[in-house]
């Protein structure tokens, strides 16, 4: 009998599996419909031996020390600061928009102070910042909005920025200094040996069993378990009772070139040209040295694997109805980007899973927790044997 069936081996499912097994000695079965662990962060070596991300570029960044410390148990890191250029008016300019972006675009020599004044002169005041259009136009005006945000957003979401919550374009700042990093978080690094290796470590516990290529419904009723942690799409769990929640998908097209480097930075955004939104060159992210280089082009689409919840009022309303159902379903915990319909980054999913774990452990009666925390086998960890888990099991 398993204590938990965990649906999905991505960050949400794997963090909960690791915590439940290692801290509460629970027996956990993870089922994932895919042929691999890691969820959307899965990486592997392609046929040329280049480490690539199967579901698009994943760059780790967080301000949460607790999240960074937690993951550091399972991987060493490679410091990496992400940089992006946008292809606009025939030039590659820094994105997020900064002082250099504007000076390159307009041939000006603004100082930061002058750029502040320039933005103020072109900004269109809005009474309320409600949509993704309001956010940008109220800061930098219509022309820059159209050059950098409107086309990209329409491609990415199949919606105009005016139809999306402010939170979407708010992810990308506007700067008046020369900082050309995509993120400014305290911790910015890539798992040194890749995400998949990190997940292998996280899940290498004798209490955790993994079934790949398995939809959880195939084993429901066949393998006994006490409770479920569900990290798939929430509407699917309830057989789309209230209709489909929109999720945006992407078609990834990979290419390997017979040269060591193709573009100056890891990602180039194409807000206005071509049907794809961005092109990623993986070696910038991984630091790998190789005579060839692999790229991925992202073509957003409506059908396909669900990747992005679509933040807008009507979808949030529909999600709320599913959330009420979820709250009323005892014995099932919902976690992660698809199950809680939140446009979360990896670190936010880890934080959410750690918080859910705390909630679950608080619900376990104190007496049985005390018993569970007693080691059943006394052991002496030996440095020569590497990591030794509880009960003296090596992993």
Q: Are 315 and 246 in contact (CB under 8 A)?
A: yes
Crossing angle of the two packed helices 132-145 and 112-122, in degrees rounded to 10: 110
Of 224, 241, 209, which is closest to residue 329 (Cα–Cα)? 241
41 makes contact with ligand FAD (CB under 6 A) = yes
* Tokens describing residue 226: 């006490």
246 makes contact with ligand FAD (CB under 6 A) = no
10 makes contact with ligand FAD (CB under 6 A) = yes
Q: Which residues of 331-362 are buried (b: 16+ CB within 10 A; e: fewer)?
A: eebbbbbbbbbbebbbbbbbbbbbebbeebee
Which run of H or E residues covers position 285?
helix 282-286
Applying CB under 6 A, among 39, 271, 309, 311 the residue interacting with ligand UDP is 271
Query: Binding pattern to ligand UDP, positions 163-182, x when CB under 6 A?
Result: -----xx-xx----------
13 makes contact with ligand FAD (CB under 6 A) = yes
75 binds, among ligand UDP, ligand FAD, none (CB under 5 to 8 A by kind): none
* Tokens describing residue 156: 């990415």
- 3-class SS of residue 178: coil
> For residue 80, what are the CA distances in angstroms to 49, 84, 260, 310, 322?
21, 13, 19, 29, 38
Residues of this chain, 175-214, that bind ligand FAD according to CB under 6 A: none
Give the binding-site size for ligand UDP (rule: CB under 6 A). 13
> For residue 376, what are the CA distances in angstroms to 20, 22, 365?
17, 13, 19
Beta bridge partners of 92: 87
196 makes contact with ligand UDP (CB under 6 A) = no
Q: How far is the CB of 13 from ligand FAD (least distance, A)?
A: 6
Q: How far is the CB of 344 from ligand UDP (least distance, A)?
A: 10
Q: Are 247 and 308 in contact (CB under 8 A)?
A: yes
276 makes contact with ligand UDP (CB under 6 A) = no
Query: With respect to ligand UDP, which residue has the nearer C-beta, 198 or 250?
Result: 250
Beta carbons within 10 angstroms of residue 89's beta carbon: 11
Q: How far is the CB of 48 from ligand FAD (least distance, A)?
A: 22
40 makes contact with ligand FAD (CB under 6 A) = yes
Q: Return the residue nearest ligand FAD (CB atom).
A: 39
101 makes contact with ligand UDP (CB under 6 A) = no
* Tokens describing residue 269: 């955004």
346 binds, among ligand UDP, ligand FAD, none (CB under 5 to 8 A by kind): ligand FAD
Query: Contact positions toward ligand FAD, by CB under 6 A?
Result: 7-13, 31-34, 39-41, 55-59, 215-216, 231-232, 250, 307, 336-338, 344-347, 349
Query: Contact positions toward ligand UDP, by CB under 6 A?
Result: 86, 95, 148-149, 152-153, 156, 168-169, 171-172, 269, 271
């Amino acid at each position: 009998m398993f204590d938990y069936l965990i649906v999905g081996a991505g960050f949400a499912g794997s963090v909960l599996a690791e915590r439940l097994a290692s801290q509460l000695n629970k027996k956990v079965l993870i089922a994932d419909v895919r042929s691999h662990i890691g969820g959307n962060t899965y990486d592997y070596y392609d046929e040329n031996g280049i480490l690539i991300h199967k579901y698009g570029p994943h760059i780790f960044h967080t301000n949460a020390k607790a999240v960074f410390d937690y993951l550091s148990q399972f991987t060493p890191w490679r410091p990496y600061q992400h940089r992006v250029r946008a292809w606009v008016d025939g030039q590659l300019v820094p994105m997020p928009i900064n002082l250099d972006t504007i000076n390159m675009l307009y041939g000006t020599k603004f100082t930061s102070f002058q750029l502040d004044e320039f933005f103020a002169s072109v900004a269109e005041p809005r009474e309320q910042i409600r949509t993704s259009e309001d956010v940008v136009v109220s800061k930098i005006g219509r022309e820059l909005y159209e050059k950098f945000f409107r086309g990209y957003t329409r491609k990415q979401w199949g919606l105009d920025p005016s139809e999306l919550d402010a939170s979407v374009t708010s992810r990308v700042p506007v700067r008046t200094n020369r900082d050309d990093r995509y993120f400014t978080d305290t911790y910015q690094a890539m798992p040194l040996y890749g995400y998949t290796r990190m997940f292998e470590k996280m899940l290498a516990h004798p209490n955790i069993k993994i079934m790949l290529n398995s939809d959880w419904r195939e084993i429901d009723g066949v393998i006994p378990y006490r409770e479920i942690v569900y990290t798939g799409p929430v509407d699917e769990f309830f057989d789309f009772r209230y209709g489909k929640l929109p999720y945006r998908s992407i078609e990834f097209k990979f290419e390997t070139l017979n040269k060591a480097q193709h573009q100056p930075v890891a990602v180039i955004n194409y807000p206005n040209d071509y049907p794809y939104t961005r092109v990623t060159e993986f070696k910038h992210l991984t630091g790998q040295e190789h005579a060839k280089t692999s790229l991925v082009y992202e073509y957003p689409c409506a059908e396909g694997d669900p990747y992005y919840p679509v933040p807008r009022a009507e979808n949030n309303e529909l999600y709320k109805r599913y959330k009420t159902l979820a709250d009323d379903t005892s014995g099932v915990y919902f976690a992660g980007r698809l199950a809680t319909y939140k446009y979360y980054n990896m670190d936010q999913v880890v934080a959410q899973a750690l918080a859910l774990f705390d909630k679950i452990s608080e619900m376990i009666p104190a007496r049985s927790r005390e018993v569970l925390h007693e080691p059943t086998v006394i052991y002496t960890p030996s440095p020569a044997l590497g990591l030794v888990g509880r009960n003296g099991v090596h992993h």
